Structure 1
Amino acid sequence: MPAAERTPQTLYDKVFQAHIVDEKLDGTILLYIDRHLVHEVTSPNVPTTSRKSLKDIASFIQEEDSRTQCVTLEENVKKFGITYFGLSDKRQGIVHVIGPEQGFTLPGTTVVCGDSHTSTHGAFGALAFGIGTSEVEHVLATQCLITKRSKNMRIQIDGELAPGVSSKDVILHAIGKIGTAGGTGAVIEYCGSVIRSLSMEARMSICNMSIEGGARAGMVAPDETTFEYLKGKPLAPKYGSEEWNKAVAYWKSLRSDPDAKYDIDVFIDAKDIVPTVTWGTSPEDVVPITGVVPDPETFPTEAKKAAGRRMLEYMGLVPGTPMEEIVVDKVFIGSCTNSRIEDLRAAAMVVKGKKVASNIKRAMIVPGSGLVKEQAEREGLDKIFLDAGFEWREAGCSMCLGMNPDILSPKERCASTSNRNFEGRQGAQGRTHLMSPVMAAAAAIVGKLADVRKISQFNGSPHIEAAIAPEPATSSGASASAEKAHPDERIETDDAEKEALADQPQDSSPQVNTTVAHAGGASAAGGLPKFTVLKGIAAPMEKPNIDTDAIIPKQFLKTIKRTGLGKALFYEMRYLEPGVENPDFVLNREPYRRTKIIVCTGANFGCGSSREHAPWALNDFGVKCVIAPSFADIFFNNSFKNGMLPIPIKNQDDLEKVHAEAVAGRELEVDLPNQLIKDAQGNTLCSFEIEEFRKHCLVNGLDDIGLTMQLEDKIAEFEKKMSRETPWLDGSGYLKRKGGKLAVKAAPVPKTNRGDVKTEPLEW
């Protein structure tokens, strides 16, 4: 096509288009997935205590449900020959830290993982997003996903960050501006002079929290900073090789065309960004550290006023209180947002020579991977933190999602570098304030939320300064970002384990699961109950931003089954204490105990995690349909995968009519074939929209895997084309030794002393 006739494309358009296997007339797309990261269902189950006494997981992990998940994972990876970084491997860590660290994440790839913060990998110019368990199964079976195009959104940040202002402040400021639903249905591209000036680790922090702005993913165009970071990474093409040169030439094309169009444009001046903290229970509830707790009575609508009052009550705050007067109990520096070497260096700059305040009960530093921990110890950062009174932990998710002993007690307040501040996120009734690593470090020293600029001098953005390794550093003097991530020392002496880093099994076929998936396709295609007409009691809810942690709290996620979760649905709202119902909560009142439909007048239902437990819990309780003004993208997709119908109704009058029936305790009728919602007498209240493909699958009870495997030949042809044109994506150009054998092998699984632990195959 002549250049003048080409449609200008964004970065997202280019990567998405390059991975289309098939496209239907209604816009349904079969998208090829290059990279799939798998963890043990919910990786906060991994303890961050010392592993010096570790012999095997079964004896090391104390919590039975966590132990069952991890042992089951070990058994499964051993059975299927999948590369595995276990607790005894120094490369182990948070999945969104080790992917980039190992060079598994590359520009122009499609990357998925059963975790919403997969958006982190978009910092490399990858299209990376979280998926639910059913979609994990789908990728494992077919190497593809069924999806639709997203909208294009651009957040452009120009200028120069002021001293003390971090990338975490940038993304918190942006979310405060667009709101937690501002990016719904979109992929955000971050650009501008501020983004270009940031290191890869700072860019990852920004892309990580794209999901907190409601977006499907976040992306940054790859540039020389990206290429420099990837040099020498174990799974990147070998630097200087023909494959590397071809890859870089392609990666340089992955930038938005100058005249590309965006559906949503947001422009931010860097001078408007100051150190920022959250005050409420949503990442959009932000204020400058120099500000005060806002007064909900000044909020624009009654719904926002009510939500604000609830947040202040939960957080134990009073309007008008200066943020710098809020006393903190605990400090957490870690998570997939802020646990990389630059985060730790920046925090250490603030902490060095100081002591944690006497009122701080616990201050924790949790590196994102074993390699980050090792690098920090070579630089002496661990000693700085220990001397100041911090705990120095092993790699893991830790207090980000309180699912192991690293949790808050009720009403304890935490200065945290994690990404979510939902109710109970870090522990039941725990109160979380999100901030940057240097701000959290400052809070630890002062004992209150603090402005880091008052206790530490920075010449520029902490991330920019921390990108340079301090002395003593690595032998080459390079930063951890640029140096080669080195594997477990055992593979340096054992040829059988040498280069135990691979994303494909020892088989010449690019799709070793194809025949298995195909054989089960016919039966799987009828595996879901058919959804045609649903009649039932509808329960009214009015709260906006009902997140997945509220739908089912994290303590109920340590399961390898989909069933039995109905008892935990809306647990924090349903129960005053274990076994004692809250009589004011709608599902504890008649006739709503038999609810099949939820009608929520608040927007952004299901925001938060990609975990599929939220629709599982609703389904197990008996709820088959949720009606709301809008839904978070991942929850919306997960619902369909489980035979449930989420119905967005944007027309306020229509929603109020439906809600009134629910308030009255009457039945509703949801007629999917005719796309109508009716009252108990059969009168039509309103119509609703649904994509034809989703409707077809629900009405006929069709399973996505069975449908996808009907295109097995197209998938195989696409893979052949990919191997010819971009061989570095499937590894065919650099992973094979002479004779066609792969130069990589799956890391061995430590022998497991199972004892009395009872496990069963992982149920997807």
Structure 2
Amino acid sequence: MSAPRTLYDKVFDDHVVYSGEGDTLLYIDRHLVHEVTSPQAFEGLRNAGRKVRRTDCTLATVDHNIPTVSRKNFKSINSFIVEADSRAQCVALEEHVKEFGLTYFGMDDKRQGIVHIIGPEQGFTLPGTTVVCGDSHTSTHGAFGALAFGIGTSEVEHVLATQCLPQAKSKNMRIRVEGKLAEGVNSKDIVLHIIGVIGTAGGTGAVIEFAGSTIRALSMEARMSICNMSIEGGARAGMIAPDEITFKYLKGRPLSPRDGEEWDKAVAYWRSLASDEGAKYDIEVEIKAEDIIPTVTWGTSPQDVRPILGSVPDPSDFPEAQRGNVKRSLEYMGLVPGTPMEEIKIDKAFFGSCTNGRIEDMRSAARVIIASEKNGGPSKVAEGVYAMIVPGSGLVKQQAEAEGLDVIFRKAGFDWREAGCSMCLGMNPDQLKPQERCASTSNRNFEGRQGAGGRTHLMSPAMVAAAALTGHLTDVRKLMGNRISEDGGLKITEYADYLTPVTVSAPPVEATEQTESGPTPVQAAAAASAGLPKFNIVRGIAAPMWEANIDTDKIIPKQFLKTLLRTGLGSALFWPARYDVKTGAEIPEFVLNREPFKHASLLVCTGPNFGCGSSREHAPWALNDFGIRCVMAPSFGDIFKNNCFKNGMLPLELPQSDLENLYKDAEAGLELAVDLENEQVIRPNGQPPVPFKIDAFRRHCLLNGLDDIGLTLQHRELIENFEEKRTTVWPWLDGVGYAKKGQKVVAVPVGGQAKKKMEW
């Protein structure tokens, strides 16, 4: 008898194409594509003469860059999107889906929306699948029992070309939440509480399985919110075992298995995915539901949480090693220790994102508005506050309007918008101004995340609605009173009313023709994809840094992601700390603005979790473009670490004591050398070298500048054999909804979601 396996083990094992030297080669079932992380990937395909291997397993949309203003007069992306770089990325995607024959939900398609909302909405996301996207919040799809994780642009190209990815096996981590939630507490409070307990690095190197009676009682939308923020706890992915609630949600969706024999076979397989009794976990965490109350963030990391009835912390409350980071966060947020959280005033309220932009989230906020008015509380957005509501997809917007939610919001003074990522990351016109404070349903409160100098407090949809009405952070339970469990008389409609067939062929798009002045930005954006510079000995000045949790937004903020190239980002490296956000002038004290560190080729950081946060490959691109090919730190964010290897860079994990010594060398402006051949860091003045060890296969690839895609294609026959097995065992994964040109699928009415715990 085989050893008991976890949910993660089972899904991972079912997708192994090849296991030998180096990482295991995994087959990828579902690939979601958006405009920000794909241009360079498609250019790489074109330059190498490669096609998309499985167009039936790829779904594309625009979301990050697009404006969320009315589309009443929309004609084309070229005329609608004003900002040039944003327009170029969206035009690039339209050209690429046309060239490579992909299914595309464009801005004139009511199914367009945020990738992590349209995937489940269409039944594209299914239990037991592997799901990837060039976006760190791909972990959302783990709510269905899928192994879903974010990838960098090089990996986007890899999946497009091979439908596979080399992956190391992660650790198993289980977080059990047991008990009944108090009234007024929902999934966002659960996940913020969890991150506060484990920290932003607590899940590093692991896939988290969320389990326990509290999780099982949640709706699918609530489960998605929890898995969405797994990445904020440092995890590679988050997963929840599929059950009856999952099956009811999926039944009848356009790309779900067809009703009848195929559906029954799929459900039988999905039931087998639950972790076996006695399965072993590397890390286990127990959380009591009764310990969770409405929770908000106070700082610039998702781990900086406080219950709403608490107060702003004092740096002295933290271990000495953390106090510097706490002081910086408080200064950035403009907060004074000891201030009650409920006394913090806001300027804006943002409702949306892949975390909380679904219909259930909107019902939750609408209930707060209705209950507050009935209880004699405020019924309109507070004076001086701007509040916006951004549906996660066109179908969510349509359903909300059918239920009259938009009327409730508009009457209360909320701005009702079109679908998109919006102010979650401010790559579009929806942004905070410097020092503006926002109550947000999004997933990150990093410095500058919602706009340069903007201050973000994360919380649930209900809490954002409460803050918008009162003008300050507020315990929503005070507005709800004894109506906390009531639906407020909302009209709940069936999702089936909004399902439409998915057709195969990409809708026609306007070609951006070459002009007399030269090629279009898309045609001009050529980037080499085959082969990497060899990494043997990298010698030079090392820049010293001490901060913990240096996230990808600090390494390169979102405004520099609007590029079609892999190069030219060195000047934007560490922009928020390197330049004054108002004037753009260099800050003389920042290390990379000082001699000799202006010419650094190495970086030594004594703080852990370097590169946490987003999947944006732009972070290593910026470091590389500046001239830094090796970063030394105690630990790294998983996706950042992987992205470094994909670009011929070395993320080098070293013991703290060795880093302290190297930091002193770097601070003195002395030259260091990283010798990968002999696996040692050579110190100056005859001091003993620092030995290190990295994975033998990674080392081999770096020393020889090997291209991952070329290595994978050596296993072409094994990939084809796996695909034959896949069609036989899991036929519903072959993209029957749009595999053949012109084919259509007629949606079947949905049976309705489970009437269990629902976001209120």
- SS of residue in 1 equivalent to 2:311: coil
Amino acid paired to 2:268: A
Match of 1:74 in 2: 94
Q: Which residue matches 1:64?
A: 84
5 Å-filtered alignment, 1:151-166, equals 151-166=171-186
- Residue of structure 1 aligned with 2:109, choices 86, 89, 110: 89
Residues 352-751 of structure 1: pairs in structure 2 closer than 5 A: 352=370, 353=373, 354-457=378-481, 471-474=490-493, 478=494, 480=495, 483=496, 485-487=498-500, 499-500=502-503, 527-576=531-580, 577-649=582-654, 651-681=655-685, 683-731=687-735, 743-744=743-744
- Determine if contact 1:669/1:682 at 8 Å carries over to the other structure: no
Aligned partner of 2:285 in structure 1 is 266
Instruction: Please tell me the root mean square deviation across aligned C-alpha atoms, in Å.
Output: 1.9
Q: Which residue of structure 2 aligns with residue 207 of structure 1? A: 227
| Separation (CA, whole Å) in 2 of partners of 1:181 and 1:261 | 21
Residue type at the aligned position of 2:236:
R
Unaligned 5+ runs, structure 2: 38-62, 507-526, 746-760
Asked whether the 8 Å contact 1:331–1:415 carries over to 2, the reply is yes
- C-alpha deviations, 1:402-442, integer Å up to 9, x for none? 11111111101000000000001101110000000000000
Specify the SS of the correspondent of 2:353: coil
The residue matched to 1:284 in structure 2 has which SS? Answer: coil
Q: Is the 8 A contact 1:61 1:67 kept in 2?
A: yes
Q: CA deviation at 1:357?
A: 4.1
CA shift at 1:486, angstroms?
Answer: 1.3
Q: Which piece of structure 1 moves more, 684-693 or 86-95?
A: 684-693
Q: Which amino acid aligns with 1:554?
A: K
C-alpha spacing 1:391/1:688, structure 2 compared with 1 (3 Å) = same
Q: Whole-Å Cα distance in 2 between the matches of residues 376 and 485 of structure 1?
A: 11
Question: Secondary structure of the residue that 1:21 maps to in structure 2?
Answer: strand
Equivalent residues, number: 694
Q: Decide whether the 8 Å contact of 1:334 with 1:368 is kept in 2.
A: yes
Give the whole-Å Cα distance in 1 for the aligned partners of 2:356 and 2:612: 21
- Cα distance, 1:730 vs. partner? 1.6
- Paired residue for 1:291, among 310, 325, 350? 310
- Partners of 2:498 and 2:476 in 1: CA distance: 32
In structure 2, the CA distance between the partners of 1:587 and 1:223, relative to structure 1 (3 Å rule), is: same
Residues 42-191 of structure 1: pairs in structure 2 closer than 5 A:
43-191=63-211
CA contact (8 A) 1:329 1:359 kept: no
2:503 corresponds to which letter in structure 1?
A
- The Cα of 1:473 is off from its aligned counterpart by 3.7
Q: What residue number does 2:298 align with?
A: 279
1:200-279 matched pairs, under 5 angstroms: 200-239=220-259, 241-279=260-298
SS of the equivalent of 1:198 reads: coil
Partners of 2:380 and 2:411 within 8 A in 1: no
* 1:463-497 superposed Cα distances (whole Å, 9 cap, x missing partner): xx77xx965343xxx3x3xx36513xxxxxxxxxx
Structure 1 residue 324 displacement after superposition: 0.3
Distance 1:70 1:255 in 2: 40
3-state SS of paired residue (2:104): coil
Match of residue 350, structure 1, among 368, 386, 410: 368
Aligned counterpart, 2:515: none
| Matching of residues 11-50 of structure 1 within 5 Å | 11-25=7-21, 28-41=23-36, 43-50=63-70
What is the SS of the residue equivalent to 1:455?
helix
Shift of 1:628: 0.4
Return the alpha-carbon distance in structure 1 between the equivalents of residues 689 and 197 of structure 2. 35
Identify if the C-alpha distance between structure 1 residues 593 and 470 changes in structure 2 by more than 3 Å, giving closer, same or farther: same
Structure 1 CA distance, aligned partners of 2:162 and 2:674?
Answer: 33
Change (3 A) 1:371 1:265: same
SS in 1 for 2:17: strand
Is 1:326 the counterpart of 2:344? The answer is yes
Question: Structure 2: how far apart are the matches of 1:125 and 1:416?
Answer: 27
Asked whether the 8 Å contact 1:233–1:484 carries over to 2, the reply is: no
Task: Give the stretch that moved more between structures: 197-206 or 397-406.
Answer: 397-406
TM-score normalised by the chain length of structure 1: 0.88
Q: What is the rounded CA distance, in whole Å, between the counterparts of 1:588 and 1:677 in structure 2?
A: 25
Q: Helix, strand or coil for the counterpart of 1:84? A: strand
Secondary structure, counterpart of 1:403 in structure 2: coil
Quick one: which amino acid aligns to residue 662 of structure 2? V
AA in 1 matched with 2:394: G
Q: 1:735 to 1:617 in 2, by over 3 A?
A: closer
- Alpha-carbon distance between aligned partners in 2 of 1:331 and 1:266, rounded to the nearest angstrom: 33
Q: Cα–Cα, structure 1 residues 499 and 312, in superposed 2: closer, same or farther, change >3 Å?
A: closer
What is the Cα deviation at residue 233 of structure 1?
A: 0.3
Taking the aligned partners of 1:84 and 1:280, their CA distance within structure 2 comes to 38
The C-alpha deviation readout for 1:117-169, integer Å capped at 9, x for no partner, is 00000000000000000000000000000110000000000000110001000
With over 3 angstroms needed to count, the CA separation of the structure-2 counterparts of 1:456 and 1:547, relative to structure 1, is same
The whole-number CA distance in structure 2 between the counterparts of 1:735 and 1:698 is 40
Cα distance, 1:189 vs structure 2: 0.2
Structure-2 separation of matches of 1:392 and 1:458: 28
* Contact 1:8/1:259 (8 A) holds in 2: yes
Match for 1:287: what amino acid? R
Measure, in 1, the Cα distance between the counterparts of 2:228 and 2:482: 25
List runs of 5+ in structure 1 lacking aligned partners.
488-497, 504-522, 746-764
Q: Any idea what SS the aligned residue of 2:64 has?
A: helix
Indicate if the aligned counterparts of 2:136 and 2:151 stay in contact, CA closer than 8 A: yes
| Structure 1 residue ranges (4+ consecutive) displaced by more than 4 angstroms after TM superposition | 523-526
What displacement does 1:459 show? 6.9
| Kept in 1: contact 2:615–2:639 (CA 8 A) | yes
Distance in 2 (CA, whole Å) between partners of 1:365 and 1:639 is: 37
1:270-297 C-alpha deviation (Å, 9 max, x unpaired) = 0000000000000000000000000011
Amino acid across the alignment from 1:586: V
Do the aligned partners of residues 165 and 242 (structure 1) sit closer, same or farther apart at CA in structure 2, a change above 3 Å counting? same
Structure-2 separation of matches of 1:580 and 1:250: 59
Change (3 A) 1:325 1:525: closer
Q: CA deviation at 1:334?
A: 0.4
Does the Cα contact within 8 Å between 1:415 and 1:443 map onto a contact in 2?
A: yes
Assess if the C-alpha contact under 8 Å between 1:657 and 1:685 holds in 2: no
Cα separation, 2, equivalents of 1:539 and 1:458: 57
The one-letter amino acid paired with 2:32 is: L
Q: Give the alignment's TM-score, normalised by structure 2.
A: 0.89
Task: Name the SS of the counterpart of 1:363 in structure 2.
Answer: strand
Amino acid at match of 1:580: A
Cα distance in 2 for partners of 1:741, 1:72 equals 23
